[in-house]
Amino acid sequence: MTPVPQVIAHRGASGHRPEHSEAAYRLAIELGADAIEPDIVASRDGVLVLRHENEISGTTDVADHAEFADRRTTKRIEGADVTGWFTEDFTWAELSTLAVRERLPEVRPRSAEHDGTGRMLRLSDLARLLDAADRPVGLVAEIKHATHFESIGLPLDELVADELRSVGWAGDERLTIESFERTVLDRVRARGIGARYVYLIEKRGAAADLVARLGSAAPSYASQLEAPSLARFAAEGLHGVSLDKSTLIDAAGSTDARVVDRAHAAGLAVFAWTLRAENAFLSRVHRGPGGRGAQGHYVDEFRALMALGLDGVFADQPELAIAVRDGL
């Protein structure tokens, strides 16, 4: 029997409102999402803030603040030079003055109409919002750039564990913790935080923590999807893997269930990211008329992915994923 996948609102209802905004989170709850996924980075004073990346010029109005002009810099983040403004160079008091904005305004102009109407949030703010919901809504907390933050004296494993205890979510059955870096998952778990632990795996490249430790000898993400690695993950206490959807479906719309089957055989849950309805993000065969920002034949793609037996999907428009799931 095919599992009924959980629908996780990716950064909130980010297909409708600027990602990680209070409006996006509230709308995701209203639209029926089973859980909400925030990305977690840190401020200079160790406050956990919710942004897709620690570089925030694309998702806030920081560039419009003359008082912060001298904070613009270039850093080496996971092997790439990135220029902009970084959360770790600001206190939370400073970050809280920034307004959020749509990251993809050319694709999502209706969401961009809400630019400037919300402020950055902390992990504690989202925890309180979920606790106030009129039904149980899960938290799928993604820890970002843990190796980088550790290198500058901001250990995210410690900060996340302390924060989850502070807000009463440590051991909550609604809690999942995920990362592209195994090291930080192991460290949070070692700090006694009860949760489901999920390893995020890209189609290409290698994990930043492994590259930092092993250099060119670091195993690729792809090699970690073979049966021996998946079995080891389960034996070491991981609960699941979360895959780039391009691992499972190609540009022509052909799907491949082998990784899903191997992971399930190892006892792991399998999630996929990210389901988005716009042509810009769909497999070539599922695109329709109207340009990059128009909705394509997303039902066909969503259904094909869910039919692989996924345990959960991340979606920018959670209500669309729910409708497809309910029609399976």
Distance set, CA 317 to CA 15, 24, 54, 166 (Å): 5, 10, 24, 31
pLDDT in tens, 82-112: 999 999 999 999 999 999 999 999 999 999 9
pLDDT band at 60 (very low <50, low <70, confident <90, very high): very high
pLDDT band at 1 (very low <50, low <70, confident <90, very high): low
In this structure, is residue 87 part of a structural domain? no
In this structure, is residue 252 part of a structural domain? yes
On the 0-12 / 13-18 / 19+ scale of CB atoms within 10 A, 290 is exposed
pTM for this model (two decimals): 0.97
pLDDT in tens, 29-50: 999 999 999 999 999 999 999 9
**Average pLDDT along the chain:** 97
- Specify the pLDDT at position 3: 73
In this structure, is residue 95 part of a structural domain? no
pLDDT in tens, 225-266: 999 999 999 999 999 999 999 999 999 999 999 999 999 999
pLDDT band at 328 (very low <50, low <70, confident <90, very high): confident
> What is the rounded distance in angstroms from the CA atom of residue 286 to the CA atom of residue 10?
21
pLDDT in tens, 66-78: 999 999 999 999 9
> What is the rounded distance in angstroms from the CA atom of residue 207 to the CA atom of residue 189?
19
In this structure, is residue 255 part of a structural domain? yes
Distance set, CA 276 to CA 38, 200, 298 (Å): 17, 18, 7
pLDDT in tens, 190-216: 999 999 999 999 999 999 999 999 999
Could you tell me the residue range of the domain that residue 222 belongs to? 6-54+119-326
Q: Is pLDDT of 176 > 70?
A: yes
- Specify the pLDDT at position 143: 98
In this structure, is residue 139 part of a structural domain? yes
- Specify the pLDDT at position 177: 98
> What is the rounded distance in angstroms from the CA atom of residue 26 to the CA atom of residue 243?
26
Share of the chain above pLDDT 70, in %: 99
pLDDT in tens, 115-137: 999 999 999 999 999 999 999 99
In this structure, is residue 23 part of a structural domain? yes
Q: What is the mean pLDDT of residues 181-192?
A: 98
Rounded-to-10 torsion of CA 227, 229, 233, 235: 70
pLDDT in tens, 268-279: 999 999 999 999
Domain count, the chain: 1
Q: Is pLDDT of 160 > 80?
A: yes
Beta bridge partners of 42: 48
In this structure, is residue 93 part of a structural domain? no
With beta carbons less than 8 A apart as the criterion, state whether 100 and 94 touch. Answer: no
In this structure, is residue 36 part of a structural domain? yes
CATH number of the structural domain spanning residue 155 = 3.20.20.190
